[in-house]
Chain A
């Protein structure tokens, strides 16, 4: 056991914090509605601090080491962002308070909408989606609503390349649409002939990630967009890989109709061990009326010393609300802070250096790993984690062995079109020295794979825990450490 459970520290009568006595006359509690037991731990405050501090120390994190996770953009998360998000006017304002008393928040959101419009080349932006997948659902629902609004009811198909993130097809299904998978060509692009063959008047649109999940810019992007538009379909852009192209190309200029941003990737808001994220969507003019509502509008521009006046506005054909309130506002403050620090020049510099770092690593690893689609990459690239001469070693083993050298594994087994894929994204905030060490380690692991494969197959050796038995975990499910309540047993 690495660390007991918080419940293991529980002793009857202990308390982590004192709370005041009621300062008002008490009102009788409703006896018939009361619970008889509350199964929460009883722990002193120092134990809480030590327990969660020790647990945190079992984690790998950007703050400790490099995280070359493809499509996840694990770049440095500036602490200034944490400070600004915690300013009291942001952190303690209430989502339902009168917007006139929250003009600072609305101004920030309005500015962020404007900047995201500018960066992506879009006519409108909604900040509501809470994550990339949430932005995808928003976007696909808007595409569906757009066609239906025109009375075009036979469009039911969403085209998705076979290299796409799993969220793309899952999103299309959630929207009640049918998925048509497109093959990739030998250079890692969408297969144009296959695309042309399926484009007809039943197509809602194409979901595309560009650069794609191989880290490659679609070489025929203009033709792809024209082909889909020609059949009346729309283009959905998965913005997971925006970190390669901010300041380089605007998806809207390429003809994209909708795109979600991942503020927790491109704009440095922390991943937090799996969220919160933030997935604003930008849209072309023809989809702007369908944005989820409300969005922030400039109701009156500032004049003669009077400040501008902002308010919430619901677009006329809005698909509706995607979230309880206005979005993951705290993440918006962080992203605003990040953009303000960078400006246009800094953001373009990030893209340039992210792409330079990836190509630099690729140039060092090319001789040691098979690169199935080998051309100038963008911010990430994919190599195969397997050699024909040592068939017993897999991408997973390389991944686990990297932990012994204090690196996080790359994204593995994705994209699905590469056998034993290792997808590497260094990001711009890693220094050349770190990249050199990382490349050397991967080269060393390639040697070990050939000379001492068992070192890889039994890795990690130095992590807090060895490989866990996921098969037993899935068969004998233990999802909760508390006893099942008596009433559940009785059912």
Chain B
């Protein structure tokens, strides 16, 4: 099966119009040694059979609707109003190209402008781009931006060890050709004060995450001033849902705010497509990568929107561009915009409060189980660390196989000193009954 409309007769007539005797003739410039290989692929199948096969694969997975879910670690089970999924399947959003032709792309352009505005409002910043691939690549681009902001003269970046381990890994991958030294996370217990001590005249950026990978809200007060005193920039990665409740990084003086936008109405989808948001101060906007939508007017004075400051980008600056990003996560940004518009000021606050109350309820109950303790050294948002009496993998097997629950993340996988620690996420999706079941199951497993 294929989706092209050509009949054999039409193909013959079109070939005649072209002046070719056969289709093969159109490929005469392909070396005959390797032309028309026989491909060993499955199919073709009808749409019906394909759907059946895919259903089988889908059914082979556990997922967040099948059973209570307490796993987070960078991707979260949140509620998304049905209209988000409905609206992004409108063909005019779904099957549009990048809005390089503004006259026929105002739908995408205005929605992205609204997205930029909402991200600014959430983060307390002045300019946001149209998105990066995900939370990890957004942070990597923050490092790239800081490096170029200092005209490639500062060669050191300080990363908090409490940043998501995958984000730190991606930063290292991105930076391997640029000769930057990445420090800070060699000590997995390093505090913010320890990190600040490493910020010096050769440092381009200090990056932290709050709430951090452990769910803890970092004490950001006064941090920016210390970083700025050394002439470096401060980047803060955030969970956007936490900003329904918490003071935005802009208010703490952050220069760059990044984050994973998946909690804003995007399905878990086994890790993607997600949304990396990126915001900065207006004075740094020309150093920011990614597409930007700006307001403009036509000759009749009508307001519209265009892609602007394109001269920063690869298609114009080529080897002088600081990032190669082109395609981003456009439709995911549209989804996040619709999600935020629907939840609005009160809805996002309510979701954040539900996360706060439910996670604290769960943490208190788990702390009371003999053998378990909850880390309360710092305030946490929707995720918290539990020291367990048994290996986390064994506990999770018990939760899944005996109680039908999906437990938390095994922190020992990334932090050897946290072996036996489980990272538990509780969102508005978890009911009191589910939480009670988890508590009972952990008690039984001890």
Contact = CB atoms under 8 A, between A and B. Distances in A.
A284 to B, nearest CB: 14
Interface in A19-62: 19-20, 22-27, 29-30, 33-35, 38-43, 45, 48-49, 51-53, 55-62
Interface stretch (A192-200, A270-278, A297-305, A440-448): A270-278
Interface stretch (A228-236, A383-391, A425-433): A425-433
B61 to A, nearest CB: 4
A152 to B, nearest CB: 15
B406 A97 contact: yes
Interface string B53-92: 1111111111111100101011101010101010111111
Given A19-B351, A23-B432, A92-B267, 10 more contacts: A35-B245, A82-B89, A87-B54, A104-B61, A141-B176, A145-B176, A270-B331, A272-B332, A432-B13, A467-B103
Contact of A90 (B61, B166, B282): B61
Interface in B16-52: 17-20, 23, 25-31, 33-47, 50-51
Given A19-B428, A102-B62, A170-B321, A400 B103 contact: yes
A452 interface: no
A403 interface: yes
Interface in A354-384: 355-357, 359-360, 362-364, 376
Given A340-B42, A341-B47, A64 B91 contact: yes
A345 interface: yes
A282 interface: no
In this complex, which of A39, A52, A326, A363 has the most chain B Cβ atoms within 10 angstroms of its Cβ? A52
B324 A60 contact: no
Contact of A173 (B11, B172, B319, B331): B319
A40 B348 contact: yes
Interface in B166-202: 166-167, 169-170, 172-174, 176-179
B2 to A, nearest CB: 4
Contacts of B361: 24-25, 27
A19 B354 CA distance: 9
A137 B85 CA distance: 31
Contact of B314 (A34, A170, A273, A409): A170
B133 interface: yes
Max chain B Cβ within 10 angstroms of own Cβ: one of A15, A270, A472, A480: A480
Contacts of A27: 356-357, 360-361, 364
B375 interface: no
A464 B106 CA distance: 8
B121 interface: yes
A69 B112 CA distance: 22
Contacts of B101: 60, 399, 403, 408-409
Contacts of A52: 87, 111, 334, 338, 341
Interface string A72-116: 101111101011111111111111111001111101100100010
Contacts of A258: none
Contact of B173 (A108, A141, A429): A141
A422 interface: no
A466 B101 CA distance: 11
A430 B379 CA distance: 58
Interface string A169-194: 11111111101000000000000000
A323 interface: yes
A292 interface: yes
Contacts of A250: 34, 37
Contacts of B229: none
25 contacts: A16-B342, A33-B217, A35-B251, A40-B340, A42-B345, A58-B105, A60-B105, A63-B92, A72-B97, A94-B77, A94-B268, A95-B75, A96-B75, A101-B400, A105-B61, A130-B329, A133-B325, A134-B137, A320-B172, A336-B54, A346-B44, A356-B14, A376-B25, A477-B308, A479-B282
Contacts of B412: none
A488 B281 CA distance: 8
B244 interface: yes
Contacts of A478: 294-295
Contact of A249 (B37, B45, B46, B246): B37
A253 interface: yes
A392 interface: no
Residue from A14, A98, A275, A429 whose CB has the most chain B CB atoms within 10 Å: A275
Contacts of B13: 432
Nearest to B178: A176
B295 A84 contact: no
Contacts of A319: 173, 176
B91 A273 contact: no
The residue among A324, A336, A481 with the most chain B CB atoms within 10 A of its own CB is: A324
B156 interface: no
B35 A39 contact: no
B151 interface: no
Interface residues on chain B, size class: 35 or more
A315 interface: no
A325 B6 contact: no
Interface residues of A, number: 204
Interface in A459-491: 460, 463-470, 472-474, 477-482, 484-485, 487-488, 491
A144 B177 CA distance: 8
Nearest to B331: A272
B57 A292 contact: no
B131 interface: yes
A145 B272 CA distance: 27
A145 B176 CA distance: 9
Nearest to A481: B117
A376 B54 contact: no
A311 interface: no
Interface in B188-227: 217
B394 interface: no
Contacts of B20: 359, 376
Contacts of A171: 324
Contacts of B285: 477, 479
Contacts of B117: 5, 7, 480-482
Interface in B279-314: 281-282, 285, 291-300, 302-306, 308-309, 313-314
Contacts of A431: 5-6
Nearest to B57: A104
Given A167-B314, A274-B330, A55 B106 contact: yes
Interface in A271-317: 271-278, 292
A67 B97 contact: yes
B230 interface: no
A107 B102 contact: no
Interface string B411-443: 000000000000000001001100100000000
A209 interface: no
Contacts of A14: 344
A96 B299 contact: no
Contacts of B271: 95, 324-327, 329
A359 B27 CA distance: 11
Contacts of B177: 141, 144, 174-177
B15 interface: yes
A337 interface: yes
Contacts of A276: 133, 272-273, 327-332
Nearest to B272: A328
Interface string B139-154: 0000010000000000
B391 interface: no
A40 B344 contact: yes
A151 interface: no
B169 A321 contact: yes
A417 interface: no
Best-buried of A16, A30, A75 by chain B (most CB within 10 Å): A16
B347 interface: yes
Which 7 A/B pairs are nearest by Cβ-Cβ distance?
A: A325-B271, A272-B331, A63-B91, A176-B177, A95-B271, A89-B58, A274-B330
